[in-house]
Chains A and B, each alone.
Chain A
Amino acid sequence: MLDFKFLKELCDAFGPSGCEESVANLIEKRISHFADRIEYDKAGNLVAMKHGKKSGKKILYSAHLDEVGMMISSVNEDGTLGFQPVGGIDPRILPSRRVVLENSLLGVIGSMAVHLKKEDKNKATPIRELYIDIGAENREEALTQVAVGDYATFAPNYKVIGGKVLSKAIDDRAGCFLMCEMLKRDLENDSWFVFTTCEEIGGFGSAAAAYTIEPHVSVVIETTTASDVPGVEGADRVCEQKKGAVLSFIDGSTIYDRELYDLIRSEAEKQNIILQTKTKIAGGNDSSRFQRKWKGTRCAALSLPCRYLHSASTVADISDIYSAWSALKLIDKIL
C-alpha cells in the first residue's frame, strides 16, 4: 500500500519554480535511508542513486519538484501586491483564491467586483489587473512583510474526496511521491531518481540532468490534463480518470521511443495493469530534454490523468495513482 500521508506532506509543501528547496529537503529526509547516494546538482535537482540487482543499464526516473505559482512584482500604495504568474496559469481561475507567500503569510487574490467592470463582464480579468491582498493597510506596512521578488503559491489544501485526491500541487508531487516509494524497493536496475527543478518554466533542471547522467532509458512520471468533464465528449476528452495512467506515444514536445512504448504496453496488458493513451497531442514534459539534450536517450512517460491542472485544486484519481505505481514496478522489472 502506498503511504498517502507523505503525498499530503509533499502536496502541502511550498515549491514554485526556482524555489523548490523545501520540497527537496522533505524528500531528501524521506529517502536518505533508501538511496545509495544523494546529491544536489548545480541546477538544484535532487538526484538519488540506488543500485539494482542487475548491472549494465542506467535507468533514469524523473518527476519535477516545482509547482505553478506567482511572484510579487509590485507593492501598491494601498498595501496590495501586484504579481506575475510562475508557469502557465489560466487567469480565469485566479480571483478569490487563497495564496501563501514564502514566509507563510496568507493572502487572497483580489479583483474588481464584476458589477463595476466596464468592459465585457464575462471576460477573464487579466493578471495585471489582479492583486494579492495580505490585509496590509498601506505600502509601508506591506513592505515590512514582503518584497518584490517573493514567491507565492496557492494555499495548501490537500484533501481526499471520494476516491480522489485534491491539491494545489498534485502536478508533480504525485510523481515525486511515486519515485520515493520506488526508492523503498529492491530494484532490478541501477536507477537514478531525479527530482527536477523548473519544469513549469521551461525545464532547465532536466536539461542539466540530461548532460550529467547519460542514462540508457529515461522514464518521466508526470500529470496530464484529463478533460472527462461535462460538455466534453469523444476525442476531446484527451484522457479520462479511472482508466489508468497515461502511457504516451506522442505529446506536444516528444515522440516517444516506439519499442519502449510497445514493450511497456504489452507487458502491462499481460499483467492486467490498465493503462491508456491520449487522444490528442497536448502538453509536454521533461522528456523532451532527456530525449534530445547531449547525446539523447530513449524515453517513456507515465502520467496521471488529472482534472483542473495548474489550478488551486488539481484532482487525481487514486486508482490511476495505483496504476502508475504498478506500471513503474513493471518497468523496473522488464528493462
Chain B
Amino acid sequence: MTLINIYNELIRAASVSGRENKISEKIISLITPFVDTVEKDSLGSVAAVRHGKAGAKRLMLVCGMDTPGFFATFFENSGMIRIAPVGEINTDSLIYSALKFENGTQGFLVSDGKKGSEASFWVDIGAKNIKDAKKKVSQGDFCLPVGGGRLMSGDIYGFGVSSAIVTALVVEIAQRIYNLEGEYEMIYLFTAQSRMGARGAAPAAMKFEADAVLTFDGMSEGVNIGDGPVLKIKDGSYISSPRLVQTLRDIADDFDIKVQNAVQEKNPSSLLALQMSLCAPAVSVAIPVKYRSTMGEKINIKDAEKLIDLTLAFAKRG
C-alpha cells in the first residue's frame, strides 16, 4: 500500500483520545503482515515487533494514534447536548462544523458566543427534546469533527490529518523495513491518549528494551510545511539526544534531505516519558503542520515521504 492509501484508511478510523479502539484495530490490520508480534496493552496502545538478527540493536518508533475531540457531558431540556473538549483543540474554529459520535450520530457544534473559559459549547443533533436526544447519545459518548482529509496540490487538509499521516508513515516504514536485513530489531508503538499529555507512552514502552527511540509527531510552531521534516531538538519537557540528532543531520546531508530544526518552550511530547521509563537515547522528529487542531489543519505529503526516507536510512545505518 502507498502512504496515501494507508493514510486514507487511517483518517476514516480517526479516534478521540481515550477511545482509540477503532484506530487501533485498523492499525493492527494494516501492520500485522509486516511484523512478528502485535499486542494491545491496558490503555489500548498497540505494540508491534519485527525481530532482527541475533544480537540486533533495538530501535523503537513511537507515535500517538489519537486525535483531540469532545465528549457529551449534559443534556439540556431542549435536546441540545453540552460537550467538553478532550485534548487540546481549537473549539472556536470548529463552530458550525459537523461532529460525529461513536455510534454514528451526527450533529454540528454551536456556542453561546462567549470567549475563552467562559464559553460553553453544545452539539445540535436535531433532537426535539431531552428524551429524544438521550435515545441517540449517552452521557460520556465521545465525538470528533468530520470531513477531514482532502488532498489539494500536495497538501492534505482537514481535522486530524497530522495524527493520521504520522501514524500512516510509521506503518509505511514497517512495510518497507519488512524485507530489509537491517541491524535493528524494530519495535513500533502506537500510543493511546497521546493528546492528553502523552499518557499512553510510558506504560506501552515499559515492557520493551530499546537502544534508540524515535518519536513521531506533528508540530506547527516556527516551521513551514513543505520545507522538510523537523528535528525537535528541545520541546517543553525534553532535550533530544544530541548524538541521535547529529546522526540524523549527517544522514540528511548524505541523502540530500532538507530538514528543519525546532526548539520549543511548550508542547511536551512523549519523549520525556519514554526517556524516564527506558533510559535509552531518544530523539523527536516531526512533520510540519499548519492550523493544528482546526478544520483547516494542513500537512504536505512530501514532508512525510522525506521523513520516511530519513528514518529508513537511519535504520539501515544501524
Contacts from A to B (Cβ < 8 Å): 234-235, 249-250, 255, 257-258, 261, 277-281, 291-298
Contacts and interface: CB of A to CB of B under 8 A. Distances in A.
Interface string B66-92: 000001011010000010101000000
A296 B17 CA distance: 16
Interface in B191-248: 193, 196, 199-200, 202-204, 206-207
Contacts, number: 60
Chain A binding surface SS class: loop
Contacts of B42: 257, 291, 295-298
Interface centre among A235, A255, A293, A297 (most CB of B within 10 A): A255
Given A249-B140, A279-B73, 12 more contacts: A250-B86, A250-B140, A255-B18, A255-B19, A257-B42, A278-B73, A292-B202, A294-B206, A295-B42, A295-B206, A296-B203, A296-B204
Interface of B: 17-19, 21, 41-43, 71, 73-74, 76, 82, 84, 86, 139-140, 193, 196, 199-200, 202-204, 206-207
A255 B193 contact: yes
B140 A261 contact: yes
B275 to A, nearest CB: 16
A292 B43 contact: yes
Nearest to A210: B203
A215 to B, nearest CB: 10
Contacts of B19: 255, 258
B139 A279 contact: yes
Nearest to B85: A281
A234 B206 CA distance: 42
A292 B207 CA distance: 13
Contacts of B140: 249-250, 261, 277
B121 to A, nearest CB: 11
B76 A234 contact: yes
A235 B77 CA distance: 12
Interface centre among B86, B140, B206 (most CB of A within 10 A): B140
Contacts of A258: 18-19, 21
Contacts of A255: 17-19, 86, 193, 196, 199
B273 to A, nearest CB: 9
A261 B71 CA distance: 15
A235 B82 contact: yes
A59 B206 CA distance: 21
Nearest to A281: B84
B1 to A, nearest CB: 29
A250 B196 CA distance: 12
